[in-house]
Amino acid sequence: MSMTVRSEQACFGGTIGFYSHVSVETGTEMRFSVFLPPRAQARPRPALYFLAGLTCTEETFVIKAGALRRAADLGLILVAPDTSPRGLGLPGEDDDWDFGTGAGFYLDAEAEPWKRNYRMYSYVTQELPALVEARFPVEPGRRGVFGHSMGGHGALVIGLSNPQAYRSVSAFAPISHPVAVPWGEKAFGNYLGADRERWARWDASLLMRARPFPDSILVDQGLKDQFLDSQLRPEALESAAAASGQKLVLRRHEGYDHTYWFIQTFIADHLAWHAERLAA
């Protein structure tokens, strides 16, 4: 698989690298970042995929989250893809910050003109892991996924839909019930079409009701989050977990908002959560 090295730097005894490749799924160049901990020099390590939120890129998490030092200590490989295809010039693609460029919502679009290129679900679950496992010292079968906001939605949907492929799942401030909030209605209506029944497979709360993940799921939510009531709806996850028996650790934190300051505060907990499950 062809891959371009954009840059590689030493970091905490390992390497932080930024890469690109031509994607079959999106039909565009896609960019991603990989942090290799020092222990990856000796033998393959588990990979933890982080899915970023609206407007973010493959650089946002590795620069802002404060995750690399702890990942180095735990021996975790971190992989962070971009949040959408870019540069397609589709009508309306760059009109709003919450749809189109930087807002792929980690689904496979079904409606025109999006369905050919906006295939972030297949990209993240199939094409990118295949590339990473072919080019980096990753141990196949030891894979986790987490994310923030739109990326938290993506992580929950991906984990719930693919329990055989992911051993661990967590999220920061996820869009928990996108079929019932403005961000989700806008994205799903455009990417998937007007038939709301087709939206259900991309909604974490609805998926959790139908088929719970076999292990616990960790979710952290700040109570000062400006999107809490209008867009995130964590109570929908609690209701779904109660209905299905899903083991859910949902922690609410006074004073924390939707920013990466919130993620920095609790990132060590999430990395430890995944490391424990990926080592099992």
Catalytic residues: 149, 225, 258
Q: In whole angstroms, how far apart are CA 207 and each of 68, 158, 163? A: 31, 10, 12
Residue 102: which region, alpha, beta or left (left: phi > 0; alpha: psi -120 to 50)?
left
- Per DSSP bridges, beta strands 217-222 and 168-172 are parallel
Cα 132 to its chain centre, rounded Å, is 16
Question: What residues form DSSP beta bridges with 32?
Answer: 19, 81
Identify which of 82, 129, 131 has the alpha carbon closest to the alpha carbon of residue 104: 82
C-alpha 82/C-alpha 229 separation (Å) is 27
User: Residue 227: which residues within 8 A CB-CB, separation 6 or more?
Assistant: 149, 173, 258
Is the omega angle on the peptide bond into residue 113 within 30 degrees of 0, that is, cis? yes
- Per DSSP bridges, beta strands 168-172 and 138-148 are parallel
Q: 21: burial class by Cβ within 10 Å (0-12, 13-18, 19+)? A: middle
